[in-house]
Amino acid sequence: MRPDDLAAAIISSVLSSTARLDPAAIDEIVWGNANGAGEDNRNIGRMAGLLAGLPVSVPATTVNRLCGSSLDAVMIGSRTIVSHDADIVLVGGVESMTRAPWVLPKPDRAFPPADTTAVSTALGWRLVNPLMRQEWTVSLGAANEQLQERFGITRERQDAFATRSHQLAHAAWEEGFYQDLVAPVAGTDVVRDEGIRPASTPETLASLKAVFRRDGTITAGNSSPLSDGASAILLGSEAAADRIGREPLARIAGRAAFALEPQEFGIAPVQAGNAALARAGVRWDEVGAVELNEAFAVQALACVDAWPVDPVIVNQRGGAIAIGHPLGASGGGWWEPLRKCFARLTSAGVSRPSASVSAKVSPSCWKLNRLANRRDRRSALFPVPSSTNPPHWGLVGHIVERENKAGCWSGGDESGSMSASVSRTLTLSGSLRRQPATSRWASRMGVI
């Protein structure tokens, strides 16, 4: 499925679920995309809006922070609202790694005598400037093998982490946790994520060969799969609540960005998450749930080891190793699982301070809080009911707080930069995903 069609589908789902909202009232679309070399070229945010039937008067822009693109879109959209330049902003992202094209670079001079090599644009460095330092442009897997050596994270730990991701994601689907977070994609019959392998065990994963080094530890089993997907989040000022027709769930309270050397992208979520929490005024001992993007098990473990957090609260419903990682869309796709974890903690009467942190190779942090009697201009995210049918470098982190609950989302991208945002607003998020192994599609959508 074309990425612009994927993006249009999730935008249509959002709009159909907020029937009271006049699409013409949307002030801006801010859309994330990491590739942009194929059918997602020429400002895919604008193309998706037009394909979804939005009025031509609704402007759009596309942003690229690689794996953190859709989180960056959230941060940009919230700033636009805070600066009084908009009241309602539709943000999100899309990626089709299966349809990323092969490209032929143009020659440096006329009538070149040598052959030209086609370059895959699906993932990682390509068409690298020769002036870039060589250590910066190693492959994503090689960079994470360096992390493994630096922190001494064993193959056994990585395989155990990957097994946990598959088992938790499978259990979440079986218990119906994700059921109301998915939206159907026309012409397909897939209703759940295709990459989940519930039969995986540390023993079966141990039989897989290392991919990037003969004596390495990273395999196809302890890494995230190539995925296609889209996500969408509706942001608005509290003044826009009547026009949207729903009560906001949270308020975005702060944002942050951080960068490391590109080859260290896997641990960029550490500082992004720390900065986001600090700006939100949330301590790690107040965090009760963490969503950390699992580009590779080794980098996820490095982040968890660096944070003063109980590993049990990390990715309690599985992560990208099982569910997939559509680069430009992932940042918008983890908000709703985090919110649902919050809701369950609250309904269970958890008395200890708890927060939720989500980190991915693109960290962002948000803080959620009840908005009763609040009448300020800070951006809010609004819930939209969904249909019951459903690695780069740089980081983005979000901290979320609901009453006494707080949470953070982190990640990193291939440029070695990271950003974080803290939110005290409500938002709707949706994402459509497909694993490249088959032609069937599944989609995911929800509210944060």
Neighbours of 345 (CB within 10 A): 22
Range in 180-184, 289-293, 383-387, 410-414 the model is least confident about: 383-387
CA distance 268 to 349: 34
pLDDT tens by residue, 294-336: 999 999 999 999 999 999 999 999 999 999 999 999 888 766 6
121 is a domain residue: no
CA within 13 Å, CB half, 113: 0
Instruction: Tell me whether residue 325 is in a domain.
Output: yes
List CB contacts of 69: < 8 A, sequence separation 6 or more.
Answer: 32, 33, 34, 63, 93, 327, 328, 329, 331, 362
Give the global pTM: 0.81
Low-confidence winner among 30-39, 61-70, 318-327, 333-342 (lowest mean pLDDT): 333-342
Residue 220: pLDDT band with limits 50, 70, 90:
very high
| Residue 129 is assigned to a structural domain of this protein | no
* CB 377, CB 239: distance < 8 Å: yes
CA pair distance 398, 250, nearest whole angstrom: 12
Query: Which of 163-177, 202-216, 244-258, 260-274 is predicted least confidently?
Result: 244-258
Q: How many domains does the chain have?
A: 1
CATH of the domain at 37: 3.40.47.10
In a domain, 316, yes or no: yes
Residues 6+ apart with CB under 8 A from 160: 202
Is the pLDDT at 369 greater than 70, yes or no? no
Look at phi and psi of residue 228 and say left if phi exceeds 0, alpha if psi is from -120 to 50, else beta: beta
Other CB atoms within 10 A of residue 257 CB: 23
Could you tell me if residue 107 is inside a domain? no
Please compute the mean of the pLDDT values over residues 407-418 and round it to a whole number.
54
Nearest Cα to Cα of residue 95 among 211, 10, 188: 10
Mean pLDDT of 75-98: 93
Rounded Cα distance between 96 and 438, Å, is 13
Residue 395 has pLDDT above 80, yes or no: no
pLDDT, one tens digit per residue, over 147-177 is: 999 999 999 999 999 999 999 999 999 999 8
- Contacts of residue 11, defined as CB under 8 A and 6 or more positions apart, other chains included, come to 29, 48, 49, 52, 54, 90, 92, 232
| pLDDT for 431 | 35
The Cα–Cα gap between 416 and 54 comes to 35
Q: Check residue 50 and give its pLDDT.
A: 98
Residue 395: inside a domain, yes or no? yes
Distance CA 144, CA 210 (A): 12
Residue 128 lies in a domain: no
pLDDT digits over 327-360, tens only? 999 888 766 676 676 566 555 443 333 333 333 3
Q: What is the pLDDT of residue 365?
A: 25
Q: Tell me the pLDDT band of 381, cut-offs 50, 70 and 90.
A: low
Residue 133 belongs to a domain: no
Query: Residue 200 sits in which domain range?
Result: 1-101+140-448
CA distances in angstroms from 281 to 198, 314, 335, listed in the order given:
38, 20, 20
